[in-house]
Amino acid sequence: MEKTNFVDQIKVFCRSGHGGAGSRHFLRNKLTAKGGPDGGDGGRGAHIILRGNKQLWTLLHLRYFKNILAEDGGNGSANNSTGKTGKDIIIEVPLGTVAKDEVTGKVEAEILEDGQEVILLRGGRGGLGNSNFKTATNQAPEYAQPGEPSEEGIKVLELKVLADVGLVGFPNAGKSTLLSSITAAKPKIADYAFTTITPQLGMVEYRDGKSFCMADLPGIIEGAAEGKGLGHRFLRHIERNSILLFVIPADSKNHLEEFNILKKELEEYNPDMLQKDFVIAISKSDMLDEELMKAIDNELPKNIPHIFISSVTGQHLQQLKDLLWATLNRQEQA
């Protein structure tokens, strides 16, 4: 169910509406045998619009939309009547959605706010009717503009999860257990690699009714930046997290080396990720005594805050929340 219910990338062919043609018409009635031009303008073709919806968390609802074809504008007609405007197609997407052109790879739209609307493909403008071209020297123009053509192309919609804190670590580092301990989220937890194959979001309840969003992301492996394992599908979700919480298990053979490997994968994928705030959590710390904690403490980077936690016993989980909240608050004040 987890695999089918979370869709973070789709590809769809889109075509906006063609503009309606202007009319070449002259006034004719029982009182007027040869009246002047009265051809109306063509209607605008329909736009294809992306709209942010905070109630959505996946692109699943668009999975079976292979072709999105917008309505053409209506042609102009007599009595200076303007053609009907094509009905715009609005595609609702979760916050954090990026739209790219498949051929060029160019980012054409980015949806970050609820209700935000971006025109993905513009409908063609309607052509002008012949009444627009009447002049003192040309009283009866017999020409009108055709409508502008539509735009079309294959668009790739990608979802990058929006969260305040992203959990980063190797498979089985204890990220899912941590998320389930301090939020109401219920990620799948088991003792084998890649239990989490899709991002899981949860709200962390802080003091005085305050809260922040945490995301449990699929585990990194060496070579993820090159596409190994879950590769790029995982790493793109980290790009939008304000803070990266590196979860390293207490029983790791080399805590510093594990941190450096994780950091290297992020850097190779996108060097800008190194500009984010880092926090290190040593998970499963209930199995450590004070001497082992001190040894681990000495090997970790001095310029990055770290904390020993246990999701099972609840050890230092409140202190972890305090640390994350202080870091988030510092970002907002900067």
| C-beta neighbour count of 80 within 10 angstroms | 17
Partners of 26 in the beta sheet? Answer: 37
Does the pLDDT value for residue 222 go beyond 60? no
Count of alpha carbons within 13 Å of 38, Cβ hemisphere only? 12
Does the pLDDT value for residue 188 go beyond 70? no
Q: Residue 55 has what pLDDT?
A: 87
pLDDT band at 219 (very low <50, low <70, confident <90, very high): low
Q: What is the CATH number of domain 165-333?
A: 3.40.50.300
Q: Residue 307 has what pLDDT?
A: 95
Does the pLDDT value for residue 112 go beyond 60? yes
Does the pLDDT value for residue 151 go beyond 60? yes
Q: How distant, in Å, are the alpha carbons of 59, 93, 123 from that of 67?
A: 15, 16, 16
Q: Residue 9 has what pLDDT?
A: 85
Q: What is the mean pLDDT of residues 28-49?
A: 91
Q: How distant, in Å, are the alpha carbons of 12, 15, 158, 239, 303 from that of 109?
A: 15, 16, 11, 16, 37
Q: Residue 331 has what pLDDT?
A: 55
Q: Residue 32 has what pLDDT?
A: 79
Q: What is the mean pLDDT of residues 299-304?
A: 92
- Calculate ∠ Cα 185-53-4, nearest 5°: 55
Q: Tell whether the torsion through CA atoms of 34, 35, 41 and 42 is positive or negative.
A: negative
Gap between the Cα atoms of 248 and 330, Å rounded: 24
Q: What is the mean pLDDT of residues 283-307?
A: 92
CA end-to-end span of the chain, whole Å? 42
Q: What is the CATH number of domain 1-159?
A: 2.70.210.12
Does the pLDDT value for residue 36 go beyond 70? yes
SS3 54: coil
The segment with the largest mean pLDDT, out of 45-54, 196-205, 286-295, 324-333, is 45-54
Q: Which of 14-28, 35-49, 156-170 has the lowest mean pLDDT?
A: 156-170
Give Cα 261 distance to the centre of its chain. Answer: 27
Does the pLDDT value for residue 322 go beyond 50? yes
pLDDT band at 221 (very low <50, low <70, confident <90, very high): low
Ordered by start, the domain boundaries in the chain are 1-159, 165-333
Q: Which of 10-14, 67-71, 85-89, 174-178 has the lowest mean pLDDT?
A: 174-178
The H-assigned helical ranges of the chain are 2-5, 175-182, 231-238, 255-269, 290-299, 317-333
Average pLDDT, the chain: 85
Letter string b/e over residues 192-223, b meaning 16 or more CB atoms within 10 A of that residue's CB: eeebbebbbbbebebeeeeebbbbbbbbbbee
Letter string b/e over residues 239-264, b meaning 16 or more CB atoms within 10 A of that residue's CB: bbbbbbbbbbbbebeebeebbeebbe
Q: What is the pLDDT of residues 192-202, one digit of tens each?
A: 433 445 677 78
Q: Residue 123 has what pLDDT?
A: 97
